[in-house]
Amino acid sequence: MIRVALPAHLRTLAQVKGDVMLEVHGEITQRSVLDALEASYPMLRGTIRDHDTQQRRGFVRFFACEEDLSHESPDAPLPDAVARGEEPFFVVGAIAGG
Amino acid sequence: MSGVRVLVGTRKGAFVLTSDAKREQWEVSGPHFAGWEIYHVKGSPADPDRLYVSQSTGWHGQVIQRSSDGGKTWEPVGNQFTYDGVPGTHQWYDGTPHPWEFKRVWHLEPSLTDPDTVYAGVEDAALFRSNDAGQTWQELAGLRGHGSGPRWQPGAGGMCLHTIILDPSDPQRIYIAISAAGAFRTDNGGETWRPINRGLKSQYIPDPDAEVGHCVHHVAMHRSRPGTLFMQKHWDVMRTDDAGDSWREVSGNLPTDFGFAIDVHAHEPETIYVVPIKSDSEHFPPDGKLRVFRSRTGGHDWEPLTKGLPQSNCYVNVLRDAMAVDSLDSCGVYFGTTGGQVYASADAGDNWAPIVRDLPAVLSVEVQTLP
């Protein structure tokens, strides 16, 4: 199982507490994890990636294993610790605004 | 027993305030969608339990919520607002062309007859409609296709379509207003539109009498006289009696004719309300006195309404969608402030009292009169 840590706004929207646990098939990448996340929680569509372009929204960042993966290819493999479910894949709202 | 439900959108969530017809004791529910900006909450005239909410943040964009039980439970519905065809460009602040980009929904206007049909006014300015209770949205592209779109420009708050008025006597007629393009009308259900800005004068644009480019802040109508509209423009309070074909100024003796909110008494179509704001650079009431002004003559002659409102050291704003009326026999008037107060008057504005004092900044106030 893949662990995804959502920011507070999205936990409220998805009505979840704590990390989300996802079954992800095939290679573990940003795209496959986010596809699985949106399949399980369709209300999150458009809030992390743009509906049309599937690009990461400007004020959203992706982190795992203390690395900023925001600018990595969405099809690049995520760290092994994420793939093994030992570390969460973090979706983070950038520090901006009030 | 009849009562009212006040739907309040704030910078950090939605609140629902309910009372019986006396409007003295209030129950406060919320925050709903805590932490999200709630630009607008509105109920269906055809089914008071059907509510729609515009929820957004800069981080995560737009979400639309729907309730079918008067706000007890909510369900996220469709949030994909895709402009029809090639979006094109509008004017940016510096006058250069700027591509149309969806940012948020400012206003939701449910159909007068069908709870599953709802219109959305969005930034960058466009009008969308859903016929499936918010699951999917289609642009009424004739508005941006009018041809003047490349000359529209954002106001300080963005280029937003903030006002949608459905004509109760003619389902084909809709009025909308955009800051800063002006007011538009369709007479064929949204297929084609025309600007209705003749008579507006805006000294801050290159041609004060231009067909488009006016910063209209809000427009209100009484349902018994759908051809008469009242407008709070950036500066000037205006009126038309020919469905927008021509406007005339009715600012009269207001202490300042800048402001955002305007509304009409539920039973007296010539009684209107505004909240004068000092200026476009000082978004607070003149002299630190929060005063609603009422005209019983459709404009020109205005009286200040002050009982129960702070008359010193008050420096809040009342935004364009933050005033509403109920339709009980003694018309109730409501408004919210950027200081987080929601004030109510159960006697058409003669006396006021706060329902709540310390909400986040209020973006919108709507009222449902319940059977």
Domain boundary assignment for chain B: 3-370
- Check CB contact under 8 Å for A9 and B57: yes
d(CA A77, CA A30): 8
SS3 of B30, please?
Answer: strand
- Check CB contact under 8 Å for A59 and B36: no
Residue with tokens 């406007």: B247
A contact test, residue of B60, B81, B136 with most A CBs within 10 A: B60
Report the pLDDT value the prediction gives residue B157, as an integer from 0 to 100.
87
Please name which of A92, A68, A91, A77 lies closest in space to residue A3, comparing C-alpha atoms: A91
Tokens of A14: 């998805």
* Of B60, B62, B79, Cβ closest to residue A9: B60
* Of A10, A51, A96, Cβ closest to residue B60: A10
- Check CB contact under 8 Å for B34 and A12: yes
| Local structure of residue B235 (DSSP, 8 states) | B
- Check CB contact under 8 Å for B36 and A9: yes
B contact test, residue of A37, A40, A43 with most B CBs within 10 A: A43
- Check CB contact under 8 Å for B60 and A12: no
Structural Rg of chain A based on CA atoms: 12
Which architecture does CATH list for B3-370? 7 Propeller (2.130)
B61 inside 8 A of chain A by CB: yes
Report the pLDDT value the prediction gives residue B42, as an integer from 0 to 100.
98
Buried b (16+ CB within 10 A) or exposed e, B341-355: bbbbbbebbeebebb
What sign does the CA torsion over B163, B168, B172, B173 have? negative
Please name which of B289, B288, B292 lies closest in space to residue B275, comparing C-alpha atoms: B292
What sign does the CA torsion over B69, B72, B76, B81 have? positive
Q: Which residues of A touch B59 (CB under 8 A)?
A: 7, 9, 57, 59-60, 93-94, 96
Report the pLDDT value the prediction gives residue A96, as an integer from 0 to 100.
63
B56 inside 8 A of chain A by CB: no
Residues of A with CB under 8 A from a CB of B: 7-10, 12-13, 43, 45-48, 51-52, 57, 59-60, 93-94, 96-97
- Check CB contact under 8 Å for A47 and B33: no
What sign does the CA torsion over B209, B211, B216, B220 have? positive
Residues of chain B with pLDDT under 70: 1
d(CA B51, CA B18): 15
- Check CB contact under 8 Å for A46 and B34: no
SS3 of A11, please?
Answer: helix
SS3 of A42, please?
Answer: helix
B79 inside 8 A of chain A by CB: yes
- Count residue pairs from A and B with Cβ separation < 8 A: 49
Residues of chain A with pLDDT under 70: 96-98
Strand-pairing partners, residue B91, are B97
Please name which of B301, B346, B340 lies closest in space to residue B322, comparing C-alpha atoms: B340
Strands in B317-370 per DSSP E: 323-325, 333-336, 342-345, 353-356, 362-370
Please name which of B333, B331, B336, B292 lies closest in space to residue B311, comparing C-alpha atoms: B292
Helix, strand, coil percent content, chain A, rounded in steps of 5? 25, 25, 50
CA dihedral of residues B110, A49, B143, B322 (deg, nearest 10): 50
Tokens of A11: 């936990």
CA distance A79 to chain B (A): 25
- Check CB contact under 8 Å for A57 and B82: no
Report the pLDDT value the prediction gives residue B147, as an integer from 0 to 100.
87
> In which element (H, E) is residue A38 found?
helix A30-40
Distance of CA B105 to the CA centre of its chain: 12
CA distance A38 to chain B (A): 13
Report the pLDDT value the prediction gives residue B155, as an integer from 0 to 100.
86
Report the pLDDT value the prediction gives residue B206, as an integer from 0 to 100.
81
Nearest CA in chain B to A43: B76
B184 inside 8 A of chain A by CB: no
SS3 of A29, please?
Answer: strand
SS3 of B287, please?
Answer: helix
Q: Measure the N-to-C terminal CA separation of chain A; round to a whole number of Å.
A: 34
- Check CB contact under 8 Å for A97 and B58: yes
SS3 of B281, please?
Answer: coil
Residue with tokens 């041809």: B147
**Is the domain covering A2-93 a CATH 3.10.20.30 domain?**
yes
Report the pLDDT value the prediction gives residue A97, as an integer from 0 to 100.
54
Q: Are strands A89-93 and A2-5 parallel, antiparallel or unpaired?
A: parallel
Residue type (1 letter), B6? V
- Check CB contact under 8 Å for A47 and B60: yes
d(CA B18, CA B7): 9
Residue with tokens 């269906």: B44
* Of A12, A45, A57, Cβ closest to residue B33: A12
* Of B57, B58, B79, Cβ closest to residue A46: B79
